[in-house]
């Protein structure tokens, strides 16, 4: 992301809420609402849809989600004229899931995303994020 001629890396902390429906046993359709947790002066929100596929009974899965990334303008980006839409963002995750009980799961994995200024944005830079994640799921 470009800010006043200088590049800044964001802190790799995010929170997502995934709501899913499984039409067949190994496939789950997802709606994701998420946020890179804010720090001064930047926050990025995400809304998207996609699918998660479980490869094996051992809990290995891949998830792909496409959506819109939106700047949180309450932090006042320099040069921001109120255009909040950053553009289209694609997220991919590869991970391992374990059952903790009949209702809860624990998951760890790798997360990658690519956010583009495609469609409409005051921003001109493409945003790339990678990292690890851990999650607790309720079924």
Q: What residue spans define the domains of the chain?
A: 2-138
The domain defined by 2-138 folds into Porin (2.40.160)
Angle at 47 (CA atoms; ends 84, 31), nearest 5 degrees: 170
List, in sequence order, every residue forming a beta bridge with 94; answer none if it has no partner. 62, 110
Residue pLDDT, tens place only, 60-111: 999 999 998 776 655 444 444 455 666 888 999 999 999 999 999 999 999 9
End-to-end CA distance of the chain: 36
Residue pLDDT, tens place only, 26-42: 999 999 998 777 654 45
The mean of the pLDDT values for the chain is 79
Largest CA distance in the chain: 52
pLDDT score of 69: 79
């Amino acid at each position: 992301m470009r800010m006043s001629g200088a590049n800044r890396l964001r802190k790799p902390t995010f929170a997502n809420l995934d709501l899913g429906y499984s039409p067949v046993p190994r496939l789950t359709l997802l709606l994701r609402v998420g946020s890179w947790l804010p720090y001064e002066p930047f926050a990025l929100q995400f809304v998207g849809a996609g699918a998660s596929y479980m490869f094996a009974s051992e809990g290995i899965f891949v998830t792909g989600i496409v959506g819109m990334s939106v700047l949180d303008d309450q932090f006042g980006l320099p040069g921001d004229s109120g255009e909040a839409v950053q553009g289209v963002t694609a997220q991919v995750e590869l991970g391992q899931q374990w059952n903790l009980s009949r209702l809860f799961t624990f998951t760890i994995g790798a997360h990658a995303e690519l956010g583009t200024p495609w469609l409409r944005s005051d921003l001109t830079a493409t945003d790339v994020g990678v990292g690890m994640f851990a999650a607790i799921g309720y079924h």
